[in-house]
Structure 1
Amino acid sequence: MMVKDMSDKRLQILVSAVNKDAQKLPEAMNIESDAVIVNQLIGQDEKSCAEESEEYIFRDHAIKIMRRHEKGVGRSRNLALDNSDHEIIQFGDDDIVYDSGYAQKILAEFDAHPKADILLFNVKAQPGRETYWNEDFAKVTWKNYGRYPAYAICARRDKLISSGVRYSLLFGGGAPYMNGEDSLFLHDCLKAGLSVYRTDVAIGHELVSESTWFKGYTEKFFFDRGVLYHFLYGGMAFALGFRFLYKNRLTMCAEMGLFKCYRVLLSGIRHGRTIKE
């Protein structure tokens, strides 16, 4: 096994993957830094697909692959974070392709903004899944933190580790409740006092693929959104939940109706109050 002598340990990407040929990901994703790849072997036989780890060199970058049977994107991201050791860490997904030169762009942006603990970069989402596109460099606040996916997030590792912030095991793919883990992560970063900024620097794009969690505007969708709103907004969850549904009533509530959707969301908020992480 080749092990790289890493004197320059600045940038490390932490990739969460599911049932992939992990050795092919560095080339498929155009990774230009050292990496920790956690590949979850969901639904695969534990005897024929054993949990294991390996390290090798890809284009002069140290790649560590960890194959695990445990389920949940939060577990995956936390495991990768626990096994990281570089100055800057970057969260990634297995369906992102990075632009040539992206790694130097990330490092240059952190060097240009030493006050930033976390930077949120532009990654072009596939059509229909767009939630954000940064047009400037600006501070992220409680008013606008909720739009960003994990693959936008890069952080100074020592700041993140010392804050104690980790990904929730309750939300996201493979978890009990649907998406929202990235918003909750940034919520906790702000709560911990970390300085979060957005930047208009673009670093890659998302491949077209089917969503692993969205199955339509079902009762589970609204119930899980209620659970998430409890953790995000506390006592304001009822009001902000109604605002969210009213704003999207023509699309999200077209089948079930606004008030039924709201009743289901309320039940999710009440359920969230009983959960202890």
Structure 2
Amino acid sequence: MTSTMPTITLNNGVRVPQLGFGVFQVPDDETATAVGRALEAGYRSIDTAAAYRNEKGVGDAIAASGLPREELFVTTKVWNDDQGYDATLAAFDASVRQLRLDYVDLYLIHWPVPARDRYLDTWRALERLLAEERVRAIGVSNFRPAHLRRVIEESGTVPAVNQIELHPRLQQSELRAVHAEHGIATEAWSPLAQGGVLTAPAVTRLAERYGRTPAQIVLRWHLQLGNIVIPKSVTPERIRENIDILGFTLGEQDLAEIAALDDGTRIGPDPDTFG
């Protein structure tokens, strides 16, 4: 990771760069190039998932980079169809083969899929992978408070991370409070609302005031909120711009203006019904 990149210390002591690079919806044949550019720009955290079907591209980029493995933080996720104890272990084996890695830094349950009610068995498989040191930290994605509490109460293991849809129009205050209560790090996917917040007057005013892009303003807001954030781009200039957010700080009034954008707009599926 770059020397100035802030980190978040997870509840088991593992440190993760606060700003990473996501590859959702990047075709596998474009992923190696995009991740390679991200690594060149200074990113050291890469977020993928089995469902993205681009783990191989991530692995190719890591291998080509020549960077020491210990300098990288790699996240992947088990997909809904692979939930269950044995199926999760097999899915993990498939992911590390695609990535060409001996271990991953963070392994997540991608969605709770409460209708299938397999996430506790899936979580027990993640606990085994952690005990075997095949992963450095385990967590969940898109879990609501009830899902989190059930995992904690029935397993005794607190997820290190909950990766959720989070952006200025969906700030997830209640869920973030549950995270804070239990020592769970908040990680934001779709941190720019797929670009939907970049034209908001509050954001464009701040971009003009600070001489920054609207995306840089929103990503800086995430960092100051304490979120781990994983913006995605395949455009070289934007890849570089998105990591260049450490040289300025938003004021309290600036943060309040962005906070006022919260209207509960969800871009992705409802975690209570999806899957």
If the length of structure 1 is used for normalisation, what is the TM-score?
A: 0.25
Compare CA radii of gyration and give the structure with the larger one: 1
Structure with the largest fraction of helix: 2
Structure with the largest fraction of strand: 1
If the length of structure 2 is used for normalisation, what is the TM-score?
A: 0.25
